Structure 1
């Protein structure tokens, strides 16, 4: 639904409320954002500790602080605490606003938030006590806890679909295609992953590949892309470049992505045809990735200054670039010749942070900085956003580059059959730089927490409205935005 852009204050002024009458939606968005921020700080503090354990394995080596227990806590709390809750909170706001209606049920939204948090808290405690399904990556939580998370997904999907059914216009805006589809796809993925009957032997290997890759590509990716389709036009005060490109990317993502997981198990006992199919579909994923990325970047055309002057847009821009680069890198990694070098090395850790952090986390932050001030009427400080942006950007850059170089050296050492200890020694300086990047990233999260406080409960900052003046660019595409 397109509506005229609202009048917004000038530079240096605090953002105004987008809809003062919808206080329940503001409360939901705020609660999800605050909860996600708490999980972000906790999960990445654990991750920072893990980073230093590579250089000093005996550091804090107590029973409950061993690497084997902390690593799944870091990954699961990042996935299901920070990213899931942050994306769902922003998705509720986007869905209600783009449909021109109120949220179907604030009660269901609160229930979903409680279920997400109960699952994350119970999962963290269980993992630290040593209760886990440790051979199932990203599914280490015991199955009863995963059922709680599944219940949160079902509640969320029900609420979102019912909200869209009450929309004020006949059309369904593109953001909602991605958001609702992501929730529904993940319900299917979670059900497949929790059923035990076929998860033994090679069946378990196949399902592990199916789940751990689709948890990223069919849950986090659609929700993050849905936020892009709302937040980027909203900030730029212009329509999305092409609705058709968005639809093309949507359906090709659904067509190609579900079968990619097999490329995690190349050279394994899985059928060779299944591995080859995963490689072919990995190459085909260039279609939705490049189509979607082109759509976002073409929407930003002529507004190059905005990526410097507007930090919400800067976060969204970095998220788009990392989506493009990280996904293309994933296609290259899928080839057998590349897997022979990079598989099981630190290169894959760098790749996962390029996508989950550079893409998904930046999408969450960009959406929060673009939309939360419109909901609460309170913006962050411009300095706070700048510090967060540069610490996070430089930090993840150091992290990914260090592990990409070190992981390549590591893999080549293995290919050339040098003594294993040599590959360990060769990684030492890269582990150090990994820690440096991790420190910068963690510090940026503390700054983000401060910014969230200013946008919610604290004193409003001096940042300008997140909505840019459409006449400031080299060309004016339009003055209507989805609101």
Structure 2
């Protein structure tokens, strides 16, 4: 059924609501004009005196003053020239529907149509009344200005030297301060030593200068190398993985770009997704986790060596898995689990070592409580291990069991591994960047437990109308609706933390990344809830809408959060910042690219789903999507260019610091204290 029809209750109701909204706005307009007339009429007519003259003249511009002078004095042109000349001489030149269970009066189409027909003439009358009131107000203002002018003339006639007041005001309007009038001619000196980090710009900056990174306590050089190794590897996988994604986007526009089996779409697409999942996002999150976990536990990391072993294992898994997929060796079906089990075993062992490392670090903490970031980070690793074992153990992988497990694995991977981990990152870095505590620790705990409750049951909403039990599909839909609770709690917590410090967002080059991630966290998650309903799933599923949604979440949320934290942490470790203009270019290229990628795909996919619901041939949908796939390629290209800039920024933040050598420069990172 189409979303809107004049022959349906929903369509007529929509028209009725629109008319009521217009009527409300028109009524508010009439109310405002009525108040304005009342306000104007209530003003007492004042006669001109000396104080009233000064008030009136302060509202006149130079042209009006000149006309008054010409009218008042036959030698006014000479006076005006003299005033202007003296001014020039004394100042410098410058500067997601269920059917109704019962009928009511207002669900009858005839009743709604009757109300609409009644509202139409009422609305017309309101508009006519508004036009009339507007004319009345305009006429009243003109009459009042004329009376004021007449009273002004009469008052000026009663004065002996009326030109003096006009010339004084004209001279004031012509005044321009000199270049040194406010600053003086004495050279500025900081004799008390109160000003630090003085910078001078010989030319106007192309972009606004942002606040530079705040110096923090030193970090263990060995831990610094480990963290940076994770982040550099992550950036490398991002660049390589999205280069493959860029090529795939081009193949939508030019499908015959190559005829090599290793480069076919069916092989490259899982290479792209798995590389950015397990290579970029996973390593990026783990690298940041290696800083956060010991920092909030106020104790050194348990084992640097375990961290390096985990890094080699995960990198090996991504490399071997990618080559295997390109060679046609895969797990045979499940999305995001195309890696064979020996490959994912390497990844799982790396996570086991990391989990052991983090748990032992938290167990040695010197703080009485476990900060919420560690709740999210450690829980994310536990859930990641659970979903990997559940997805690859063979005992329930027959028939519908494999389909159900696929939905569980796919959604748990996104929500309980990537999302959970990055939320832990935000709970640490966002308050720190704002120099204020998180708004509500209780909201964070509510979001934590409610996400565990609801997100773990929603995987089957990808298989609505399939052969899996109807009740299981319904449970997934209910869980998807329940996700409103943790998402709203988390987004509200973050936004209220920022509230009161919005000016800091404009002065920072990291906070815009955090804010963008928060906005997409709410909108993208709410979009997932909307997609879960049977009516919307019937239209959007199996279309490009799912592709747009996955990028809106994995890119708009996860990736932006990782970037934000990376730009916070790396300068802290190396003492060097990337060029702010390059960080700005990275942000805007990524954001605009994401919007150009997702919005056309969502629009075109909706039209495509409606086309399918009308029984049109499949090829019609392909033809329909051609221009939207072009926008997909354009948006993907912008995103890819932003990754090149990000890689350059990483190089600039690490270059010449000696981080990957055994000795550090004197101004670099200091040795670790016994307690962090």
**TM-score past 0.5 threshold:** yes
1:335 aligns with 2:541: no
Counterpart pick for 2:388 among 190, 198, 222: 190
1:176 aligns with 2:369: no
1:303-342 CA distance string (max 9 Å, x none)? 2222222121100110111111000000000000000000
Change in 2 beyond 3 A, CA 1:277/1:14: closer
1:26 aligns with 2:227: no
1:46: which partner in 2? 244
Q: Distance in 2 between matches of 1:457 and 1:56?
A: 39
Counterpart pick for 1:36 among 230, 234, 243: 234
Q: Distance in 1 between matches of 2:378 and 2:230?
A: 18
Contact 2:219 2:573 in 1 (8 A): no
2:13: which partner in 1? none
Contact 1:210 1:259 in 2 (8 A): yes
1:281: which partner in 2? 479
Counterpart pick for 1:353 among 544, 551, 560: 551
Query: What is the CA-CA distance between 1:161 and the residue it aligns to?
Result: 1.0
Contact 2:321 2:343 in 1 (8 A): yes
2:538 is paired with a residue whose SS is helix
Higher relative contact order (CA 8 A, sep 6+): 1
Q: Distance in 1 between matches of 2:457 and 2:622?
A: 34
TM-score by length of 1: 0.92
Q: Distance in 2 between matches of 1:305 and 1:51?
A: 38
Query: What is the CA-CA distance between 1:277 and the residue it aligns to?
Result: 0.2
Query: What is the CA-CA distance between 1:9 and the residue it aligns to?
Result: 6.4
Counterpart pick for 1:290 among 488, 491, 494: 488
1:317: which partner in 2? 515
Matches within 5 A, 1:430-445: 430-445=628-643
1:199: which partner in 2? 397
Counterpart pick for 2:287 among 89, 96, 118: 89
Q: Distance in 2 between matches of 1:50 and 1:22?
A: 42
Contact 2:297 2:362 in 1 (8 A): yes
1:234: which partner in 2? 432
4+ residue runs over 2 A deviation? 8-21, 305-309, 457-460
2:584: which partner in 1? 386
**Alignment size in residue pairs:** 454
1:416-437 CA distance string (max 9 Å, x none)? 1112211111101100000000
Structure 1, unaligned stretches of length 5 or more?
Answer: 1-7, 461-482
2:314: which partner in 1? 116
Contact 2:211 2:507 in 1 (8 A): no
Contact 2:210 2:508 in 1 (8 A): no
Query: What is the CA-CA distance between 1:21 and the residue it aligns to?
Result: 4.8
TM-score by length of 2: 0.66
1:158-184 CA distance string (max 9 Å, x none)? 111111111121111111100000001
Structure 2, unaligned stretches of length 5 or more?
Answer: 1-195, 199-208, 659-675
2:265: which partner in 1? 67
Counterpart pick for 2:655 among 435, 457, 460: 457
2:178: which partner in 1? none
Q: Distance in 1 between matches of 2:361 and 2:479?
A: 34
Q: Distance in 2 between matches of 1:150 and 1:238?
A: 37
Change in 2 beyond 3 A, CA 1:366/1:13: closer
Query: What is the CA-CA distance between 1:439 and the residue it aligns to?
Result: 0.5
1:374-414 CA distance string (max 9 Å, x none)? 12211111011100000001000111101111111111110
Contact 1:15 1:378 in 2 (8 A): no
1:248 aligns with 2:446: yes
1:214: which partner in 2? 412
